[in-house]
Structure 1
């Protein structure tokens, strides 16, 4: 674990190099000292709200992280709400484990880093995110911090902000602390210290709205930024002190250099600067004395007696019961991801608590978090930063590195924060206790897995097994093992066993088949039908559980219809086009499950490239305080040679409301998308604001569709977005009315309020203008039991008659396709009918009430059947999915099909 220097209460020794960044992550608001902004909420103490709905807590399991630390998984239910919670329990009686605070990058404030990044840098075996911080400030924790026995940041002058600490003799405490300290000149004069390594903020309960007014602060080498701090509304006089001796004084200006180790800067203003002017000189000694003071009982706490301390927000649990909130919590309300810390009544266990909010979990309110903490044994505890900051990492048994325990509110992305609470193993090296197999638990057919034999010692820490060469065995034929290679052969679950001497370890491996897939998605759904076309065609499988898997080339079988070509290394190349072919199909199959790339003369059409815009594009918003503009301008980077649409926004005036910044096309009318569009793509230059990006359509029936372009703008530079429009069920022609940035009220402080996004090359794939062009139109009539059909008034003989069974009409699909265009093939071995028409590929299997349409599996109420040696398909189901209209006249038993 990294530690830069030791701390002493005298300035003759170093001041402690570790420092943090202060965040207001999705929770509390701190006013900027320069005026505008939402003030820190002040008001009467609010009581914990008792949830009306009944709640229950179920323990799902637990895993050992290291000696003295266990990861426990829970399910919390309240009414219809289900939340997953993860708790790391640390045993303070176990001398092989300890808790400590980790700081930013390279142990410095103003250098934020993710929880996982800090765990890797410090060598933690597990960690959760830490203290609140002002996202608009440079970055220091809002509360106090002690790391490895060194005081690194002092509590801010804010009401009801609690802290969690562990003494050097292993006693946990939760209390509210203030800071008390002074500097002493060589002549004996003293001046009070206001704090250490603090960002500028608005104090509560004092005489000033400016934290650094007439104040003296110490900044150590743990403060990376050269400005100490920004936006303080004060001009500093700074004093450099090295080994207790004043080496430099800068009057009415900050010292321009960074702070060397073993030194600190005394940053003063106003009355404090007058003290410097009247009492300090270069070459003189300067000492500092300070302590933490409990607001509850006035007791002074020497930071040297603490192992660690981390700040938080309101107290949540006291005496094993939900406590009244120690400060107003309206700014951190709602149902969010949550982080908390607490300890047991006997002081033995510390609980690091997180509640997930993601696609699998609903999050918790603060009162629900209180209930949950009490239910797992927390005696006293407090709230840590939550929302988008909530993160937990842990090192699985026998692994070397930590991994994300669950998805954050941003998915797999971890927010950069100021500090984190880490779990560290202090155990010596033990003997080998057990082994395990580590590697892929899911494989696709034809895919080779990567597996390692890993071991752990008597303290549950990893053991180097690089010199061990196990023998691999599979329990069945689903996996093929050859030497150290393991390859998936057919769907099913296998037990993979590693054997090394007398030791064995196993791992369950699932080989995914078509039954496990809900969608097979081609990254490029449409392409030009011409010789020389070369496009990337990555294929992704969406599993029934919602997870996605990239399908390797080795697992796919490609079939080309209408052209000659091949797919190699994920690239489709057209070598020649068949004569008279207007549409081509590149069909990818995985275990019989299909998706298609449709090739046509038009393919994807550019809808707007902003090179010759002849209609207005204006900025609008829903909140009068939101300002912004739209402009057509020259792009940057990869779009440097083209015009782009730039949307600028400033949402500072709309805080507390759901805010939109629109780029509106053609007034309130919008611009027309002329035909049925299956997908949309556009190039977007992101601003890493973490805001939400959407588009608004109005279809021909007047229905509005809000299309998600990106749930989170988490990139900078240009990025191509591909959007599937089929789930929105729009009726075309439709109008694209606007593209826009959204900043919702919940967790608003976690996202940027100002920014710029740019758009270029908006394109739509419209099969009816390309692959469906030229398909026959008209009317066909078929009568039950008759081996003929009328097509546009002409009688056409057939060799099979429609069949009515169970209220469903069945026909050989060939006759419908002869009349309205398309083709069908029959795979006897798979009992599968493949139907191609225009831009659509449909596959049906005899006896199965499911079909696959352009890569998506759909459940049906009827299925194909075989009768009299002929395969018959449900007429209405198939025809309507192909874009045809079917009508049934029960009196004449006649079916009418129209296109």
Structure 2
């Protein structure tokens, strides 16, 4: 966060008085804190995930918040401050980077910092007992510290220091490793200030504000080694020394009182702002600065700074730290403003902290800086666990890290990972993580578990489980004292509530490949894609094959639609896909448009030529990507810069491409109805040599369309894996238009309850079984009605199952079972299908609604009309 010039002391006193009242006015009411999950990070540290709800502008909102709870009495864990890269200031990086650099198991961002300056914290910092920065001379800034006895402190620390020259002259020291800033009265302290910089400051320039020219002195082992007048020492301070930087009066002190070879004395102190307190800061284990106090004595406190400087009354992502009343727990806190999480104002953050158990707490930097990183139990690597406000991980000045200090322990437990929902004959690989007595990860390469499952419904080979029967099982892995288990359900027909193709509506074309994913939902609420190998497939209407769930059309001559049925454990679903109409647009033998070459960048070589092969003309596009940088492309452009308009609303673009095995991309540039350029891929991996038909989906574009070019592209990422020179040939560029499903005949059936006489259109018919009423439901002979209205009926004697297909509708029903499967959806009828006089009778209303029949009812004569 960028620091602003600070308000005056008198103004601050008024401000604090007003904020106490304002904070009371806007404090959250009607809050609810729900612990959604928790997990051990390491011995002494737990990650708790909360959902916090409150009322804002008469509307309930919810916020995702995370709390790392650290047991300060546990000798196997510690909290410490982190900084930049390799624990140096001015080398900002993300919290994840700092956690990995320092070997932490978790962490958050830390103090406020000036994003326009070198990148150092506003307040103080002690890392591993070493002072890295001292407090700023700004009132109301709190710090969080851990004493040598592991006691937490949140308080204001003031800075005092001076440098004494050999001649006895002293000058007040402004601070250690500070960037330029202003005091409470708006005075730039760097103007006449003397500041000290250690090796923790990684830059060779210090506190550059563009106005005050520095004079610097290099000190090693308390001896002046170099004086740079009106310029900076061109090095980073050594480990055994420091650099003094002065401007104005401080410059005069350096120039007039320090000499190379002199011994000088530098002393400084960090003292409590409350003079009634004393702290042994030189023995602090760690310290990090922040801003306003938020919680005191388990209640929201007044604000000790103007929180408008960091959008305190607006919902933002927030970071905070606090501790419990008994001083035994520290709480490291983030709350998110992101998709699904409404962020917090500072008054709301205060209430959340109180709800979460904080006795005393303060704010850290927030907004776009808020990041929490943690290692999951059994994982080697930490990961970002919150959703950042801007979607990125901002480079920040410092952070709070959580570290394991435990020795290496013995194997304590395992954690299983893998599918909890399986289908019969689906082989699934299960993996595991391991952790020791201190909940720290153990390399899985050193652990060989024994695998097993209950119920005898499948078999294990190494860590691969293959179920052979429907049912529930518990998969287990054991190694020494460590074990883990997970429940797995092997789904059967009775557990499925729906099974449907999820590829959406599209038309198929001859020579095309079309993936047909199937989504299954179970009674338990689980959703998964059905493995293609677990289904049995049927194809009708066209000639083709279905391999691994991909439909390939060999021939669609004369066909109007392709019909695909997939079955799993007797549960069926169907999709009917119209055959699209293909119109060749560019074949050079009959029709083409003016075609010219183009390239990007300018150093690329590109050319187009008309060539003849096998008696047919086609377009040759040559490319040379050996020169230039970045993504490269060679174009075949149509109608110069104007492109060619395409009639109608094509769903797909297809072309025959003679590939060169270069692994380059082939794309087309399409201008949509909004004038937007769309780069659609025909292939992103030209790994073949010879002719191949390729396809691009245009169905999501706004019509009308204009095709500008077809081109070969070599994107920057992975460029070294693609051939830099080559040529391809292009022929038969076509557009595929959406096909129409064939219309069903307009037949009409007339029936009468309890009478066998019927008519089909005007032809009289005699039924083997008359329609009848059972429990206020009219049952009709399904075979007669379906076939009369151009459907088909299949009978499975073994399962006593009837399958009805009419147009794009499929129904499976079982005799004496009220559950029916309609286009993959489970439906329950009021009356089950039954056999009467060796004829299958089904509920008319349910079947008519599902098959698209129109039904008329004559209540006076009990007459039924179906059409």
TM-score by length of structure 2 reads: 0.64
Counterpart in the other structure of 2:417: 439
Greater mean alpha carbon deviation, residues 227-236 or residues 99-108: 227-236
- Aligned-partner Cα distance in 2 for 1:150–1:316: 27
Q: Which moved more, 1:59-68 or 1:140-149?
A: 59-68
Residue matched to 2:79: 99
SS at match of 1:332: coil
Distance apart, 1:495 and its partner CA: 1.8
Cα 1:168–1:523, aligned 2, differ >3 Å: closer, same or farther? farther
State the match for 1:346 in structure 2.
Answer: 326
Q: 1:578 and 1:150, CA in 2 relative to 1: closer, same or farther beyond 3 A? A: same
Aligned length: 712
* Aligned counterpart for 2:454 among listed residues 460, 471, 475: 475
- 1:774–1:414 CA distance, 2 compared to 1 (3 A): same
1:375-418 deviation digits (Å, cap 9, x = unpaired): 444221123344565454444555544455x5525799765544
**What's 2:185 paired with?**
206
Measured in 1, the distance between the counterparts of 2:453 and 2:265 equals: 70
Mapped contact 2:777–2:831 kept (Cα < 8 A)? no
SS at match of 1:47: helix
Q: Is the 8 A contact 1:521 1:595 kept in 2?
A: yes
- 1:170 paired with 2:150, answer yes
Alignment partners' CA distance in 2, 1:564 and 1:507 = 44
Following TM superposition, by how much is the alpha carbon of 1:576 offset from its aligned partner in structure 2, in angstroms? 1.9
Contact 1:146/1:303 (8 A) holds in 2: no
1:869 equivalenced with 2:840 (yes/no): yes
User: Residues 437 and 777 (structure 1 numbering): CA distance in 2 closer, same or farther, change over 3 Å?
Assistant: closer
Match of 1:123 in 2: 103
C-alpha displacement at 1:310, in angstroms? Answer: 2.0
Larger Rg: 2
Q: In structure 2, do the counterparts of structure 1 residues 573 and 849 end up closer, same or farther at CA, with 3 Å as the change threshold?
A: closer
Instruction: Check 1:530–1:379 CA distance in 2 against 1; reply closer, same or farther (3 A cut).
Output: same
1:451 aligns to 2:431 (yes or no): yes
Q: 1:118 to 1:235 in 2, by over 3 A?
A: same
Give the deviation of 1:173 after TM superposition. Answer: 0.9
* C-alpha distance in 1 between matches for 2:173 and 2:766: 98
How many Å separate the matches in 2 of 1:102 and 1:192?
28
Q: Corresponding residue for 1:507?
A: 485
**Distance of 2:792 and 2:629 partners within structure 1:** 47
1:425 matches 2:390: no
Distance 2:410 2:99 in 1: 25
Q: What is the CA–CA distance in structure 2 between the aligned matches of 1:49 and 1:798, rounded to whole Å?
A: 83
Partner residue in 2 for 1:659: none
Distance 1:321-1:581 versus aligned 2 partners, 3 A rule: same
Equivalent residues in 2 for 1:713-732, closer than 5 Å: none
Alpha-carbon shift at residue 325 of structure 1 (Å): 2.4
Q: Are 1:145 and 2:125 an aligned pair?
A: yes
Change (3 A) 1:237 1:772: farther
The counterpart of 1:306, out of the listed 284, 287, 296, is 284
Find out whether 1:771 has 2:749 as its counterpart.
no
What are the Cα deviations for residues 317-337 of structure 1, in whole angstroms up to 9, with x where unaligned? 111222122234451345555
C-alpha distance in 1 between matches for 2:429 and 2:502: 23
Q: Secondary structure at the match of 1:381?
A: strand
Deviation at 1:147, TM superposition (A): 1.3
CA deviation vs aligned residue, 1:306-361 (integer Å, no higher than 9, x gap)? 11112233322111222122234451345555443212223222223344667776
* Shift in CA distance, 504/190, structure 1 to aligned 2, threshold 3 Å: closer
1:32-43 → structure 2 map (5 Å cutoff):
none
Distance 1:244 1:468 in 2: 54
8 Å contact from structure 1 (residues 814, 824) kept in 2:
no
Q: Secondary structure at the match of 1:340?
A: strand
Q: What is the deviation of 1:148?
A: 0.9
SS of the residue aligned with 2:291? coil
Q: CA deviation at 1:474?
A: 0.5
Quote the residue 2:363 is aligned against: 383
**Are residues 398 and 281 of structure 1, via their aligned partners in 2, closer, same or farther at CA, if it must alter by over 3 Å?**
same
How far 1:194 moved relative to its partner? 3.8
In the TM superposition, 1:337-736 aligns within 5 A as: 338-355=318-335, 364-386=344-366, 389-397=369-377, 399-402=379-382, 407-409=386-388, 416-430=395-409, 434-440=412-418, 442-445=420-423, 446-452=426-432, 454-457=434-437, 459-462=438-441, 466-477=445-456, 479-488=458-467, 493-500=472-479, 503=481, 505-511=483-489, 513=491, 529-531=509-511, 533=512, 562-567=542-547, 572=550, 574=552, 576-581=554-559, 584=562, 601=580, 638=631
Q: CA RMSD in A?
A: 6.0
Cα separation, 2, equivalents of 1:280 and 1:864: 103
Counterpart CA distance in 2 for 1:285 and 1:547 is 75
Structure 1 contact 811–873 (Cα < 8 Å) conserved? no
| Residue matched to 2:296 | 318
How far, CA to CA, are the matches of 1:222 and 1:722 in structure 2?
Answer: 56
TM-score (norm 1): 0.62
CA deviation after TM superposition for structure 1 residue 776, in Å: 4.4
Shift in alpha-carbon separation, 1:797–1:317, aligned structure 2, 3 A: farther
CA contact (8 A) 1:443 1:488 kept: no
Q: Secondary structure at the match of 2:156?
A: strand
Higher relative contact order, chain-length normalized (CA < 8 Å, sep 6+): 1
By how many angstroms is 1:174 displaced?
A: 0.8
Where do residues 167-316 of structure 1 align in structure 2 (5 Å cutoff)? Answer: 167-198=147-178, 203=182, 205-208=184-187, 212-224=190-202, 228=206, 234-244=212-222, 262=240, 264-280=242-258, 288-297=266-275, 303-316=281-294
In 2: Cα distance, 1:677 partner to 1:808 partner: 44
2:608: which partner in 1? none
Structure 2 CA distance for partners of 1:491 and 1:196, relative to 1, 3 Å: farther
Equivalent residue, structure 1, for 2:692? none
- What is the rounded CA distance, in whole Å, between the counterparts of 1:260 and 1:145 in structure 2? 19
Answer whether contact 1:99 1:421 (CA < 8 A) is retained: yes
Aligned 8 A contact 1:164 1:174 in 2: yes
Q: How far did 1:525 drift?
A: 7.4
* Structure 2 Cα separation of the partners of residues 605 and 865 of structure 1: 53
- Partners of 2:279 and 2:489 in 1: how far apart? 59
Q: CA deviation at 1:812?
A: 7.3
Q: Shift of the alpha carbon at 1:155?
A: 3.7
Aligned-partner SS, 2:354: helix
Change in Cα spacing, 1:297 to 1:271, as seen in structure 2 (3 Å) is same
Mapped contact 2:106–2:373 kept (Cα < 8 A): yes
8 Å contact from structure 2 (residues 501, 516) kept in 1 = no
CA distance in 2, matches of 1:585, 1:372: 57
Q: 1:259 to 1:484 in 2, by over 3 A?
A: same
* 2:418–2:431 CA contact under 8 A, matched in 1: yes
Report the Cα offset of residue 91 of structure 1: 2.6
Match of 1:624 in 2: none
1:54 to 24, 30, 37: 30
- SS in structure 2 opposite 1:105? coil
Deviations 1:138-169 (A, max 9, x none): 53334322211122234445553322111122
SS where residue 869 of structure 1 aligns? strand
